[in-house]
Structure 1
Amino acid sequence: MSKTLAALAFTLTTQFAVAAPGSIADLPEAAAFANDLAQRQGFDASRLLEQFSAIRTNERVLQLIAPPSSPTQRSWERYRPRFVNAQRIAGGVRFWQDNALTLARARALYGVPEEVIVAIIGVETVYGSNTGGFGVLEALATLAFQYPRRAEFFRSELEQFLLMTRENGLDPLAVKGSFAGAIGIPQFMPGSQRRYAVDFDGDQRIDLSNSVADAIGSVARFLEQHGWQAGQPVAVPARLPGTPDQSLLEAGIRPSLRVADLFERGIVATAAPESTVTLVDLVSPGQATEYWLGFENFYVITRYNRSSFYAMSVFQLAEEIRRAMPPPIREAMR
């Protein structure tokens, strides 16, 4: 082989050795993404492609994110016990007791009750015991480049993740999370971490995977930034004379119905007539539907997860944890 050909072979080998066959780096979209971040955010495109070369399309992620082949019936009866149960109530009491001062500080700063913060962490990760085992870079890259249905959203989150790891001195390949890229004790998506998370333990970095204090403060600030109303209710049960008008249920999850108007329709609840609420239906096949009125704070919880079932689980778990706290301790924390 001539020196010229040998040099060319060495150049080509060096150029493409980074991208092992089948890696994310092989995808044209990945190269375009890396170049775009280099121009807009000052990343090293070759370094990004080197990191992409270490990961592959994760088929399990694509299976988990895909909608079910046939729609499943909503069932509050099946959903509730997954999150409002003895394990999470007892764990919530311990978590509150172990982190009482931090929770009280978060309540003082952001106005969010301790039990609500605890319940969200309990629902999300069972108080940090199940934060996910997927490589976040691989999960987000898989969804960004191989899931066209929500590619725009996940490319944005992939960018936010890379910015987040750069800002906090983290190795992108080492961060673990959910199949959708949610991270740490409170399961924040990278964009939410950059917008709402706080360094609550004062160590000059935000670490939602290892710092319980950062997780507590970040959950509280997330809710506060989304409009949490300190000292105001979340939801109250409602009694109906029969099946409600469908328009009331289709009014949306954001409160827009006046309690006084609902009273006139025979919907009764313990709520001030001037309050604005949403009518929440907790359906279970074969059983009578359970109805509640959700206030602004109920809507704020749905900003964490856009599901009335989720928000009601958080609220009811919070109430159970609060009631299970030893009375002297509970009162001392107020």
Structure 2
Amino acid sequence: MLSALVAALGALLLPLTANAEPPPPFSEQTEVRAFIAAMHEQHGFDVAHLTRQFAQIRPNAIVLRAIRPAAVPEKQRSWQRYRERFLNPRRIAGGQRFWREHAAVLARAAAIYGVPPEVIVAIIGVETEYGGNMGSFTVLEALASLAFHYPPRAEFFRSELEQFLLMARENGLSPLGVKGSYAGAIGIPQFMPSSQRRYAVDFDGDDRIDLRASTSDAIGSVARYLQQYGWQKDAPIAVPAQVPGDASALIAAGIKPTLSVRELAAQGVRATADADRPAALIDLVTPEAATEYWLGFDNFYVITRYNRSSFYAMAVFQLAEALRERQPQTTLP
């Protein structure tokens, strides 16, 4: 992998104090010059051209602050607080509008990939509130900042930086002109560059993939992403569960379904579901409130491949259910 060629050089976190000297452009940094040389050797990039692009960006202190894990104790995590961010009247109404405006494209994606429209809409709603908040960071600068100045995940972000430059070249984009999140996620569905190259589709038929400007490409790409990770058409996502005793061992087993509903029932978990279906016990914790327990099935696990958080997957599921319940049923003449 390209990142291995430069990883050995190491990376130092930028000083983030107000009095720190502004960091030099990326083009002056030894690691970046090694990265540029590797991009030339492996992918044929022009060294001078790439150097000029890196000369126009500097390490971004806001990105480096944002990526650091929040110093919030586990006991303060709140499902109810998280849920309120996504299950609210504004986001539900926005999802209804988005579904109406793009009903034909959503129906086509569902027919091809087997993912229901409400799930596609809910993911886009959670990610960017239906394209309204796609991020304002220069993706090249954000990824370079994390690739060369955030040691805990430097290898991952160097790989994403490589994928981003390849993606930009393939789609005729200027790397300096692409905006996204502080972590380098792009467009209406917030795909990382590697995911865009691997899963995104030209769903509007214009011979290019544009996840920022083409809602059709975004819809088709979300559906294909979930399908490629194993989405099961017409299968359930999750159901409420009751756990009368200590559930810590089952929770520690993780969110990948490994036990059948019948096997979980033998350990005291009660839920209304197909006894033979694999499931995982999910806990949704809110301080000073009773923990919610759910059984998450394979499709719930697939949603966590988009964002590896049970809170995230449950927010997508519940927003999808709220949208489906409010979607008017059309009848054929």
TM-score by length of 2: 0.91
Aligned to 1:86: 89
Contact 1:131 1:177 in 2 (8 A): yes
Residue 13 (structure 2) aligns with: none
- State whether residues 23 and 59 of structure 2, in contact with CA within 8 Å, keep that contact through their aligned partners in structure 1: no
Q: Which residue of 2 aligns with 1:262?
A: 264
- Mapped to 1, the partners of 2:199 and 2:323 lie a distance apart of 25
Give structure 2 stretches of 5+ with no counterpart.
1-21
Shift of 1:68: 2.6
Partner of 1:314: 316
* Aligned residue-pair number: 310
Q: Is 2:52 the partner of 1:44?
A: no
Residues in 2 aligned to 1:251 and 1:68: alpha-carbon distance in whole angstroms: 25
Distance in 1, Cα, partners of 2:70 & 2:80: 20
Deviation track 1:150-185 (CA, whole Å, cap 9, x = no partner) reads: 110000000000000000000100000000000000
Contact 1:23 1:55 in 2 (8 A): yes
C-alpha distance in 2 between matches for 1:146 and 1:241: 47
Q: CA deviation at 1:266?
A: 2.5
1:115-134 CA distances to partner (integer Å, 9 max, x unpaired)? 00000000000000000000
- The counterpart of 2:290, out of the listed 281, 288, 291, is 288
Q: Aligned pair in 2 of structure 1 residues 114, 49: CA closer, same or farther (>3 Å)? A: same
Residue type of the alignment partner of 2:139: V
Matched residue type, 1:229: Q
- Which residue of the partner structure matches residue 14 of structure 2? none
The amino acid that maps onto 2:32 is A
Q: Which residue of 2 aligns with 1:171?
A: 174
How large is the RMSD of aligned CA atoms in angstroms? 1.3
What is residue 203 of structure 1 aligned with on the other side?
Answer: 206
Tell me the distance in 2 between the aligned counterparts of 1:261 and 1:143: 44
Distance 1:318 1:70, change over 3 A: closer
Residue 253 of structure 1 deviates from its aligned partner by 1.1
Contact 1:279 1:291 in 2 (8 A): yes
Residue in 1 that maps onto 2:162:
159
- SS of equivalent to 1:170: coil
String of CA shifts for 1:92-148, please: whole Å, max 9, x gaps: 111000000000000000000000000000000000000000000000000011111
Greater shift, 174-183 or 263-272, is seen at: 263-272
The alpha carbon displacement at 1:21 in A equals 7.3
Any idea what SS the aligned residue of 1:278 has? strand
**Which residue, out of 120, 123, 129, partners 2:123?**
120
2:281 corresponds to which residue? 279
CA–CA distance in structure 2, aligned partners of residues 227 and 69 of structure 1? 34
Match of 1:8 in 2: none
Secondary structure in 2 aligned to 1:187? coil
Instruction: Please name the residue that 2:37 is paired with.
Output: 35
* Alignment partner of 1:297 is 2:296: no
Runs of 4 or more off by more than 2 Å in structure 1?
68-73
Q: Which runs of 5+ in 1 are unaligned?
A: 1-19
Corresponding letter in the other structure for 1:226: Y
CA contact (8 A) 2:127 2:189 kept: yes
1:270 to partner: Cα distance: 1.2
CA distance in 2 between partners of 1:243 and 1:150 (Å): 35
Residues in 1 aligned to 2:209 and 2:101: alpha-carbon distance in whole angstroms: 20
Alignment correspondent of 1:133? 136
| Aligned counterparts of 1:143 and 1:266: Cα–Cα separation in 2 | 45
Query: Is contact 1:89-1:324 (8 Å) kept?
Result: no
Q: Percent identity?
A: 63
Check conservation: 2:23, 2:58, Cα contact below 8 A: no
Question: What is the distance in 2 between the residues matched to 1:164 and 1:194?
Answer: 6
| Partner secondary structure for residue 236 of structure 1 | strand
Query: Structure 1 240/70 Cα, relative in aligned 2: closer, same or farther at 3 Å?
Result: closer
CA contact (8 A) 1:240 1:266 kept: yes
| Corresponding letter in the other structure for 1:61 | V
**Per-residue CA distance 1:282-315 (angstroms, 9 max, x = gap):** 0011111000000000000000000000000000
Q: Which has the larger radius of gyration?
A: 1
- Residues 33 and 286 (structure 1), Cα distance of their counterparts in 2 relative to 1, 3 Å cut: same
